[in-house]
Structure 1
Amino acid sequence: MTLDPENSVNVIEFKNPSSFVSPSGSKYALYTRAFDLADESEYPITISYSGAQVAPEDITVKLGIDTAALSQYNAEQHKKYDLIDEKLYTLVTSVVIPKGERTAVAKLKFKSSAFDFSKKYVLPIQIQSASAGVVSGNFGTILLNVNAKNKYDGVYTVTGKMSDASNAAFAGLYSVGKKVEYTLETISATECVVTDHINWGGAAYVPIWTGTGVSGYGSFSPVVEFDPATGKIISVKNFYGQPASNTRSAQLNPAGINIYDATAKTIKISYWMLQPSVVTTPPHIRTTWEEEWKFQKPR
């Protein structure tokens, strides 16, 4: 195959607006972005005249909402993303790529403070037409998955201690000098689930050291609930069920230190993993954690 970039046909398309979520098996790409709670959160979307040439004239690009694309993605990926209510966003539906330029930015704003935390919002945006050029078949429509972040959301470095009553070799990664980071992801105004992006690619798992390598407890990750008035941690439950199918559940250690320090942006937490199928004697505590989570950066 011989490529001739200088004579290639330019296409009008969306540039990647945020971190990419693989659309394997889907026609359309899905992008995810989380916003702080605000009356108005900006999300600039760039439309590109992609190829060897710059725009030969002012190109007017019309944008619209493609609900069929979202339905197709849900069917292909077996997902249940929700079409975001039109009251929660504003989108400029016409932009101009100036003559001699390659891009234009569409102003998109979300009312993230009004988001329903139980919803998985997606805004499917389509390039409906362009006054010149060819609209891309691959990136003429994009799906924007947007969600809100509570004040506890973010990336934290973790230190502390861990003990497993059924296997003394199991320990926290920090006990063998390995870096531990938890990402707290918002699931309600007062709750976050612990995810691990270093070892598990963002999945909801707590990394552990088995004595020979990195692992994690299947079907287990804590969901932490805070009292916004006092900063106290009021409950911990298992993201995969309370209990999960393997009998694992989470519980706060009431005798431990369980608090969020808003000034230092530090969390001190003491909790247990209960597993009656392994530890048959009540209260069925298999694993204990006493940790300090220090905020490093936003998610």
Structure 2
Amino acid sequence: MKRIMIKILPLFMVICSLSSCLKGYDTNIDTDKTNSVVEFANTGNIVSGGNATYHRFASDLGVLNLGDSATFNVNIHYAGAAYAPTDITVNLEVDAAALTSYNESDGTDYVVPPTSVYNFPSSVVIKKGTLESQIKVAIVRNADFDFAASYALPLKIASVSTGLIGSNYGTCIYSFSIRNGYDGVYEVTGDFEDFVLGAAATSSYPKTIDLVTYGPNSVGYFDPNLNGGIYGYSFENGGSGSYYGNFAPIFAFDNDGNVTGVTNYYGQGTNPQVRSAELDPSGVNKMTFDGTTPVKLEVSYFMIQAGAKRIAVSEVFTYTGAR
């Protein structure tokens, strides 16, 4: 019996060692196919949840003005036992049903963009002797681009000239977002008055504020240093940090950079505090640019509470860079 145990133990150690090595290797190759598998390869980090039916990759395409375009990459991989034995033609298509399934599994609300917003080649060739090819998906900011929508392209490998289509990475979701020309990080100074709290309320300037794309010509007031980062206006009450709940301005602009309106991110009087925002027409109320780069925003506005002016604000935003 002792001799049997001695012979089995080394074999067990070898098996464990091999198992450990396999577990430590991270890949997106289908384990249920042995070779000649064609699939999408990772494009950045996977951002979908663990229960999602498909993997999702996300691209921030930066600032696009009307008529501008940008691209993101999609990688297609040959996962065979060696390099591609011949040229492999891979045909691609949009699978709207896959996006519906993804939304249901991951709790998202992505939609396929209008066809005028995107463009990509319907096929790509993985050359003989290689492992991967790449396409570029072009996104255009045109009149059909809806900033209120969450866009994603559900791409599917429809067919291949050689090999099998991977079951895990045969379809992937590619979400993307763009920013308008007012978006960015700003250092903010200004004046502030609370008509209810009086002298007890003082400003918290200077502060860093992100103006975040809300619509094609509007941005929301996001404070990255307030409660871990929220849309909100901070101030000091009796020397202690505070902020107005359910209030943050949204600035809307015309094509010349003039501020045409200010509304509340949390609804115009539809929040529990009945707070809304209103432009103060006596202010400068304009964004200036150096070419297409923001320089400075000067704006004045009120917070209205239950129909009465609660606070008056005049601010100067100096652009420091992209978010």
What TM-score range do you get, normalising by the shorter chain? Answer: 0.7 to 0.9
Is the counterpart of residue 289 in structure 1 residue 289 in structure 2?
A: no
Partner of 1:41: 69
Q: Measured at CA, do residues 234 and 243 of structure 1 come closer, stay the same or move farther in structure 2, by a change above 3 Å?
A: same
Partner of 2:263: 237
Partner of 2:281: 254
- Which amino acid in the other structure matches residue 90 of structure 2? V
Matches within 5 A, 1:1-299: 2-4=20-22, 10=29, 12-16=39-43, 23=49, 26-28=52-54, 29=56, 31-34=58-61, 35-39=63-67, 41-47=69-75, 49=77, 55-57=83-85, 58-76=87-105, 79-98=108-127, 101-117=130-146, 118-130=148-160, 131-132=162-163, 135=166, 137=168, 140-147=171-178, 149-167=179-197, 171-175=202-206, 179-188=207-216, 190-199=217-226, 203-208=230-235, 211-213=239-241, 216-229=243-256, 231-246=257-272, 247-263=274-290, 265-276=295-306, 284-299=308-323
- Which amino acid in the other structure matches residue 104 of structure 1? S
What's the CA shift for 1:223?
1.5
Q: Measured at CA, do residues 203 and 52 of structure 1 come closer, stay the same or move farther in structure 2, by a change above 3 Å?
A: farther
Q: Measured at CA, do residues 75 and 204 of structure 1 come closer, stay the same or move farther in structure 2, by a change above 3 Å?
A: farther
Using the aligned pairs only, state the percent identity.
27
Question: Over residues 236-289 of structure 1, what are the superposed CA-to-partner deviations in whole Å (9 max), with x where a residue is unaligned?
Answer: 01122111322010112222331111236210111121222xxxxxx6232332
Question: Over residues 138-162 of structure 1, what are the superposed CA-to-partner deviations in whole Å (9 max), with x where a residue is unaligned?
Answer: 6841132444x43323332222233
- Structure 2 unmatched ranges of 5 or more: 1-18, 31-38
Instruction: Give me the whole-angstrom Cα distance separating, in 1, the residues matched to 2:132 and 2:203.
Output: 48
Secondary structure in structure 1 of the residue aligned to 2:281: coil
Q: Measured at CA, do residues 43 and 53 of structure 1 come closer, stay the same or move farther in structure 2, by a change above 3 Å?
A: farther
What's the CA shift for 1:78?
5.3
Q: Measured at CA, do residues 8 and 88 of structure 1 come closer, stay the same or move farther in structure 2, by a change above 3 Å?
A: closer
Instruction: Give me the whole-angstrom Cα distance separating, in 2, the residues matched to 1:133 and 1:20.
Output: 23
Asked if structure 2 preserves the Cα contact closer than 8 Å seen for 1:273 and 1:286, the reply is: yes
Question: Over residues 23-63 of structure 1, what are the superposed CA-to-partner deviations in whole Å (9 max), with x where a residue is unaligned?
Answer: 46533426253551354523132315498987454554332
Instruction: Give me the whole-angstrom Cα distance separating, in 1, the residues matched to 2:28 and 2:269.
Output: 57
Asked if structure 1 preserves the Cα contact closer than 8 Å seen for 2:182 and 2:211, the reply is: no
- Residues paired across the two proteins, number: 285
Instruction: Give me the whole-angstrom Cα distance separating, in 1, the residues matched to 2:66 and 2:41.
Output: 26
Instruction: Give me the whole-angstrom Cα distance separating, in 1, the residues matched to 2:300 and 2:111.
Output: 36
> Over the residues paired in the alignment, what is the CA RMSD in angstroms?
3.7
Secondary structure in structure 2 of the residue aligned to 1:71: helix
- Structure 1 unmatched ranges of 5 or more: 277-282
- Which amino acid in the other structure matches residue 20 of structure 2? T
| TM-score normalised according to structure 1 size | 0.76
Instruction: Give me the whole-angstrom Cα distance separating, in 1, the residues matched to 2:224 and 2:252.
Output: 21
Instruction: Give me the whole-angstrom Cα distance separating, in 1, the residues matched to 2:322 and 2:286.
Output: 20
- Which amino acid in the other structure matches residue 111 of structure 2? D
Q: Measured at CA, do residues 196 and 2 of structure 1 come closer, stay the same or move farther in structure 2, by a change above 3 Å?
A: same
Q: Measured at CA, do residues 88 and 6 of structure 1 come closer, stay the same or move farther in structure 2, by a change above 3 Å?
A: closer
- Which amino acid in the other structure matches residue 221 of structure 1? A
| TM-score normalised according to structure 2 size | 0.71
Asked if structure 1 preserves the Cα contact closer than 8 Å seen for 2:189 and 2:317, the reply is: yes
Q: Measured at CA, do residues 76 and 256 of structure 1 come closer, stay the same or move farther in structure 2, by a change above 3 Å?
A: same
Instruction: Give me the whole-angstrom Cα distance separating, in 2, the residues matched to 1:273 and 1:36.
Output: 31
Instruction: Give me the whole-angstrom Cα distance separating, in 2, the residues matched to 1:133 and 1:201.
Output: 47
Partner of 1:280: none
Asked if structure 2 preserves the Cα contact closer than 8 Å seen for 1:63 and 1:125, the reply is: yes
Instruction: Give me the whole-angstrom Cα distance separating, in 2, the residues matched to 1:84 and 1:97.
Output: 27
Asked if structure 1 preserves the Cα contact closer than 8 Å seen for 2:152 and 2:173, the reply is: no
